[in-house]
């Protein structure tokens, strides 16, 4: 009998936010291939005999390449095993899940995508920040913060788009916060636009610092925030004080 791969979103951090289907996949897994930001308590959902393979990566630290991850999925599936590729957030939101799915197609491996709760809206929600709010924000966009330091792929290439977006959500942008702030101001955003930076969202280690484009860099430095983080830019950040619930 041939194997199969399930590309499963583990959610944004809180292990209770995994979907019912994601948990069921884990419970029948022979192999779990998991990322750095996956709460390891989820691994207990897999059977005791299941092999657990850590393939975590961080910025500037890639002990296992993406190609090696592909080969692990291929090898285990060809052994006839049920493989759960457990990825933080949602596998198709800045998680390279699409690349892994294409690789599996190319090698004739059956697979399923199990969407997860994405950090881009769940983490702000845990901080009391809605990404939309009637009369305040009718639109939002999600970007990777890595673009802010990549020349022609910088955020400035989205200049026309930014002018019409009420709420901007930036994932993995903490190390490029200064560049992001400077580019947004150059694009015409008011220096007094509210900003929130949330680290370790939905977990007991969650921290949130708020300010404006003018002062958020200093505030983040003074609090010594560390990745993983999400940056929220827009008037919805003002709801933080009244809607915060998790950190109370």
- Strand 4-9 and strand 82-87: the pairing is parallel
Of 217, 228, 227, nearest to 195 by C-alpha is 217
Instruction: Write the DSSP symbol of residue 202.
Output: T
Q: Is 39 a catalytic residue?
A: no
Q: Is 172 a catalytic residue?
A: yes
Q: Are 87 and 8 in contact (CB under 8 A)?
A: yes
Out of 14, 35, 39, 90, pick the active-site residue: 35
Out of 14, 90, 155, 172, pick the active-site residue: 172
Q: Is 155 a catalytic residue?
A: no
Strand order in the sheet with 82-87: 51-54, 31-34, 82-87, 4-9, 111-114
Out of 21, 57, 166, 187, pick the active-site residue: 57
Q: Are 28 and 82 in contact (CB under 8 A)?
A: yes
Catalytic sites, residue numbers: 35, 57, 172
């Amino acid at each position: 009998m041939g194997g199969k791969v399930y590309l499963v979103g583990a959610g944004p951090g809180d292990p209770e936010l995994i979907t019912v289907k994601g948990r069921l996949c884990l419970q029948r897994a022979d192999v779990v291939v998991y990322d750095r930001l996956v709460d390891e308590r989820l691994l207990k959902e897999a059977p005791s005999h299941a092999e657990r393979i850590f393939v975590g990566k961080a910025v500037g630290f890639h002990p296992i390449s993406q190609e090696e991850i592909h080969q692990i999925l291929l090898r285990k599936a060809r052994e006839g095993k049920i493989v759960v590729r457990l990825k933080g957030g949602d596998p198709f939101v800045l998680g390279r899940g699409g690349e892994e799915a294409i690789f599996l197609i190319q090698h004739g491996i059956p697979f399923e995508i199990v969407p997860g709760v994405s950090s881009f809206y769940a983490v702000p929600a845990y901080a009391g920040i809605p990404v939309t709010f009637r009369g305040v924000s009718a639109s939002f966009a999600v970007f990777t913060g890595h673009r802010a330091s990549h020349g022609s792929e910088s955020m400035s290439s989205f200049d026309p788009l930014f002018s019409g977006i009420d709420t901007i959500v930036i994932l993995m942008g903490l190390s490029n916060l200064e560049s992001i702030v400077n580019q947004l101001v150059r694009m015409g955003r008011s220096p007094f636009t509210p900003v929130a930076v949330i680290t370790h969202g939905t977990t007991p280690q969650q921290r949130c610092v708020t300010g404006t484009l003018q002062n958020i860099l200093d505030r983040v430095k003074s609090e010594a925030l560390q990745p993983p983080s999400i940056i929220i830019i827009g008037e919805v950040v003002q709801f933080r004080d009244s809607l915060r619930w998790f950190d109370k």
